[in-house]
């Protein structure tokens, strides 16, 4: 049995795979150690570097190209507003908490305006619930001020339409021209990875129409959070017939650089 992604990280899941090979290998899937299966020749872990010499020519070098674009006026205004905000009521304690949440919003803006807008609206909903329960007049005032601040940021983010979303427009140009992708060719498959599920939903909604794809040639899927790559990646490979444009989301933070051709 060979697997590139063997399990979801849970001890029980790994034990179930080992027990498929030898039902007696792990007696208690919820309580075991490596010593329970180490000497039974059931698990071999190999990295690319371990087999590269044996498979020369099968591991082409990755080609990485960083592509930059100029932010639009709407994006600049939203970012300027974000850098100017301050908050009174946050879940954390101590100095620097306001800066921490602003950094959270900044990181949410990198994937897409939609991702940042989702973060803002989630925080607004939490503040409204706190305001309903709050009886202290001074605290009510600060909650209202924070809501006003977030509402102002919400307006700025809403102004970043898909047409004003510079990285999305760059992505469209790269898909149409820069990568040489043939969307009508059933053997030419394109995979886009995002780290924000909100961004994934945005791409799944916009790309089929903007690229004139139908449901037979595009799909989106969500995968379990694993490692967190820090830039956008688009993978090109020849593949059997199937969805020719797939967006795949890992619940991490961003496709915050420009698209990278692999």
pLDDT in tens, 104-152: 899 999 889 999 999 999 999 999 998 999 888 888 898 899 999 999 9
Cα 154 to Cα 67, 127, 148, 185, distances in angstroms: 28, 14, 10, 41
Q: What is the mean pLDDT of residues 11-30?
A: 87
**pLDDT of the residue at 6:** 64
Q: Give 228's pLDDT tier (boundaries 50, 70, 90).
A: very low
**Residue 95 reports pLDDT greater than 80:** no
**pLDDT of the residue at 72:** 94
**Residue 226 reports pLDDT greater than 70:** no
Q: What is the mean pLDDT of residues 54-60?
A: 73
The larger pLDDT score, comparing residue 111 to residue 58, is at 111
Closest CA to 247 of 209, 212, 207, 188: 207
Place of tokens 């080609």: 63
**pLDDT of the residue at 144:** 92
Tell me the C-alpha distance between 110 and 257, whole Å: 8
**pLDDT of the residue at 219:** 61
pTM of the model: 0.64
**pLDDT of the residue at 191:** 81
């Amino acid at each position: 049995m060979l697997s590139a992604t063997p399990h979801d990280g849970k001890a029980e899941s790994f034990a179930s795979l080992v027990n498929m090979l030898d039902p007696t290998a792990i007696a208690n899937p919820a309580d075991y150690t490596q010593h329970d299966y180490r000497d039974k020749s059931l698990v071999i872990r190999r990295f690319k570097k371990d087999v590269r010499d044996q498979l020369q020519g099968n591991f082409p070098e990755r080609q990485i190209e960083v592509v930059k674009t100029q932010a639009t006026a709407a994006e600049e205004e939203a970012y300027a507003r974000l850098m100017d905000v301050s908050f009174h009521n946050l879940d954390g304690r101590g100095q620097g908490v306001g800066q921490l949440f602003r950094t959270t919003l900044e990181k949410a803006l990198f994937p897409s305006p939609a991702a940042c807008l989702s973060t803002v609206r989630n925080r607004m909903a939490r503040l409204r619930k706190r305001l309903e329960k709050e009886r202290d007049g001074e605290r009510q005032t600060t909650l209202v001020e924070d809501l006003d601040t977030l509402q102002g940021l919400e307006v700025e983010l809403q102004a970043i339409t898909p047409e004003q979303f510079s990285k999305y427009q760059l992505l469209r140009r790269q898909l149409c021209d820069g990568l040489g992708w043939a969307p009508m060719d059933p053997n030419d498959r394109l995979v886009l990875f995002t780290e924000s599920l909100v961004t994934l939903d945005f791409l799944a909604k916009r790309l089929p129409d903007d690229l004139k794809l139908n449901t037979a040639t595009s799909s989106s899927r969500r995968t379990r959070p694993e490692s967190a790559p820090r830039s956008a990646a688009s993978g090109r490979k020849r593949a059997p017939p199937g969805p020719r444009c797939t967006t795949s989301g890992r619940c991490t933070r961003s496709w915050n650089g420009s698209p990278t051709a692999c």
